[in-house]
Structures are given as structure tokens and as C-alpha cells.
Amino acid sequence: MTLTSHQSLITVLVIAAATILTRALPFALFPDNRETPKYIVYLGQVLPYALMGFLVVYCLKGISLISSPFGIPEAIGIICVVFLYLWRKNILLSIAGGTMAYMVLVQTVFS
């Protein structure tokens, strides 16, 4: 499906408006002169961990432990992430290293 120039312009304007709204809304709802509500502070503390747990479960949901390769590349990738984080204390390095280890294993060893 091809969009006309008017449809493309409207699409870009709607996306731009939504982006500006989502960027400005927190500043409008929680100005500097008022204290941030306790539940927002609480959510800011617990949601990053909850989302990481959710992402781990989502990434591992399709693993079959009864058929080859039995989740071995995923387990090695997780071990790489944990090892790199404990060694360097850098989350970006550990995620990138674990992802690279997993991709190399899947593309070469377990293909």
C-alpha cells in the first residue's frame, strides 16, 4: 500500500504530536514546584527490575528442553551476561557480550 503525499504528511504530523505529547506530559503532570507522588517514585524504583524479569521470561518462553539443542545456547548466553556483569559491572557490555555469544553459538555451533 502506497501513501499519498497528504497521507504521509498527516502520518508524520500525528507521530510528531504524539512524541511531543509523551515527552512533555510528565513535566506538565509533575512540575518542579510540587513533590512527586509516592506511587510514582515507587514505580520508578521497581519497574526497571520488573521489566527486566519480563524480558527474560519473554526471551526464554519458546525454549524446548526436550529437543535439540536443549536450550544450551540460551543458557550459555545467560551465563555470559552474568559473568560479564559480575566481572566488569557494566550492564551494556554484559548484554552485548551475552547477545554476541548467543548469536555466534546459534549461527555456527548449533546451526
Residue at 104 is within a domain: no
pLDDT at 19 over 90: yes
This prediction's pTM: 0.66
Query: For residues 28 and 20, what is the distance between their CA atoms, to the nearest angstrom?
Result: 12
Structural domain of 27: 1-34
**End-to-end CA gap in the chain:** 36
Query: For residues 101 and 81, what is the distance between their CA atoms, to the nearest angstrom?
Result: 9
pLDDT at 111 over 90: no
Q: What is the mean pLDDT of the chain?
A: 94
Classify residue 106 as exposed, middle or buried by CB count within 10 Å of its CB (0-12, 13-18, 19+). Answer: middle
Residue at 11 is within a domain: yes
Residue at 69 is within a domain: no
Query: For residues 60 and 83, what is the distance between their CA atoms, to the nearest angstrom?
Result: 19
